[in-house]
Structure 1
Amino acid sequence: MPQRTHSVPVTLPHSALPLADWADCYERLVPGQSATAMSLAKRGLGRFPGWVRALLVVRNAIVSPFGLKGSGADGKADMIGFFPIVSETSQQAVLGFDDTHLDFRIVIDVSPAGELAQRVSITTLVRRKILFGRIYIALITPFHRLIVRTMLSRLSRSKPAAG
């Protein structure tokens, strides 16, 4: 089964973040047919590669003087990696949080794609609240695209954890 991550159009407004003014979506066929959106979110976002963790450390060091959150951790939400869980069904997991410069959501959708695969999409939605939010998204977009593509690629190679 040929597998390739590709960009797909996003229609705004989106129910996960109705006021979003920036969005992208990537999808890929992932072998298997029984994974839920939450299990795929945990596999894709639960443990980042070292280079992504290093980028996040640099990002947090740069933005913390501006009062931006290093992650959504506030002690009130269940988390996957750095991201609080907003909502979940078997077909969709929504993660994200609101900050002073922007609000964002990561939406992981899963649907059957034949007998041996599932179609997995990762949609990122952003509501840029202030000029700094617009600048921030412009600066991180190339890294964001690489990270999302890497996550989807890793999902297609990794196997679900037992249990």
Structure 2
Amino acid sequence: MKSKITETAVPAHSKIAEDLPGAYFYDCYQMPFDHTELSAMQIYMDTFARTPAWVNALMGVRNRVVGLFGLKNLGGMKALNKNKPAEAYQVGDRAGIFSLVYKSDEEVIFCDSDKHLDVKVSVSKQIRDGQPGIAVTTIVHVHNNLGRAYMLFVGPAHKVIAPAVLSRA
């Protein structure tokens, strides 16, 4: 049986909440998840390694299209080093399409930035109503009109993609 994924507010006590002011786009999805023995980094790696094939196909289309407009090719969501253990990752390391910018046992934050926008993604362990769970938060700050135009397409798609990826946790 699949866990119930719900859209929710960005967890106020999370580190990524500090990036919320001035955000052009943000969303947060949570689901019940017994994370007692896993670090947030391990949850990120396990989840993104199981990204649905259709999401990776969309990333391929995205990479081809945005290249025409000067945005960078991010590669695929599953592009993780399977030989590198979660505990070996340090701030600054690349993990899939993002670079690690914050790491604790309870939360990891990844970022990708260019001249058009900054994207941050957090995976955080949560306790809600006494039950363990995880939350995946995405925050985007745009820098120019191309970043805003990009988000016109990506924002609505993200509302489908984020829960689909989270469902693989």
Q: Do the two structures share a fold, i.e. TM-score over 0.5?
A: yes
Structure 1 unaligned spans of 5+? 156-163
- Among 20, 32, 35, the residue aligned to 1:29: 32
Task: Give the corresponding residue for 2:10.
Answer: 10
User: Could you tell me how far 1:18 is from its partner in structure 2?
Assistant: 5.3
Letter in 2 for 1:82: I
- Does structure 1 residue 91 correspond to structure 2 residue 94? no
Amino acid at match of 2:101: V
Further displaced range: 61-70 or 87-96: 61-70
Q: Is the 8 A contact 2:35 2:133 kept in 1?
A: no
* Distance change >3 Å, CA 124–CA 132, structure 1 → 2: same
Residue 80 of structure 1: aligned partner? 95
Separation in structure 1 between the aligned mates of residue 129 and residue 147 of structure 2, nearest angstrom:
40
**Aligned-partner Cα distance in 2 for 1:17–1:99:** 18
Unaligned runs of 5+ in 2: 80-90
**Following the alignment from structure 1 to structure 2, what is the Cα–Cα distance between the partners of residues 146 and 136?**
16
Identity of aligned residues (%): 30
RMSD (Å) for aligned C-alpha atoms: 2.9
> Which AA in structure 2 matches 1:136?
Y
Query: How many residue pairs are counted as aligned between the two chains?
Result: 152
Q: Deviations over 1:54-96 (max 9, x none)?
A: 11111010011222121289xx942222111111000000001
Equivalent residue, structure 2, for 1:137:
151
Matched, 1:118 2:121: no
Q: TM-score scaled to structure 2, two decimals?
A: 0.77
Does residue 1:42 correspond to 2:45, yes or no?
yes
